C-alpha cells in the first residue's frame, strides 16, 4: 500500500492514474480543497489544514478528516509514501 500525499490541487493530475485500489491519499496544505469533491479513492484530509482554510463541514462524504497522529500512523503502515506537489 502506498500513501500519496497531495499538497496542491494541480498535483492530482500528476498522480491520478497511479493511485491503486488499496492505496490511500492524504490531502494537506492547499490540497485539502480537493476534498470538496467526490474522488474515486480513499481520501484523508489533515484537519489542521481543513480548519485553517475554513472548510470544516464542507468536505465530501468519503473524505475523512484526520490529525497528524493519524497521518504518522498511515505513513508507518505504508510500504511507500509518495509526495505530489
CATH classification of the domain holding 47: 3.40.1260.10
Cell representation of residue 41: 479513492
Q: Whole domain around residue 57: which residue ranges?
A: 2-84
Q: Strand runs (DSSP E) across 10-57, as ranges?
A: 24-27, 43-46
Q: Which H/E stretch holds residue 71?
A: helix 68-77
Contact 19, 84 (CB under 8 A): no
Distance from C-alpha of 79 to C-alpha of 15, rounded to nearest angstrom: 17
Confidence of residue 9 (pLDDT cuts 50, 70, 90): very high
pLDDT at 1: 96
**Domains: count for the chain:** 1
The verdict on pTM exceeding 0.85 is yes
Q: What is the pLDDT of residues 54-75, one digit of tens each?
A: 999 999 999 999 999 999 999 9
Amino acid at each position: 500500500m502506498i500513501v500519496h500525499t497531495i499538497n496542491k490541487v494541480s498535483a492530482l493530475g500528476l498522480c491520478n492514474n497511479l493511485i491503486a485500489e488499496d492505496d490511500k491519499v492524504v490531502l494537506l496544505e492547499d490540497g485539502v480543497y480537493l476534498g470538496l469533491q467526490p474522488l474515486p479513492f480513499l481520501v484523508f484530509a489533515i484537519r489542521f489544514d481543513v480548519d485553517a482554510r475554513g472548510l470544516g463541514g464542507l468536505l465530501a462524504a468519503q473524505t475523512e478528516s484526520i490529525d497528524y497522529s493519524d497521518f504518522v500512523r498511515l505513513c508507518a503502515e505504508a510500504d511507500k509514501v509518495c509526495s505530489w506537489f
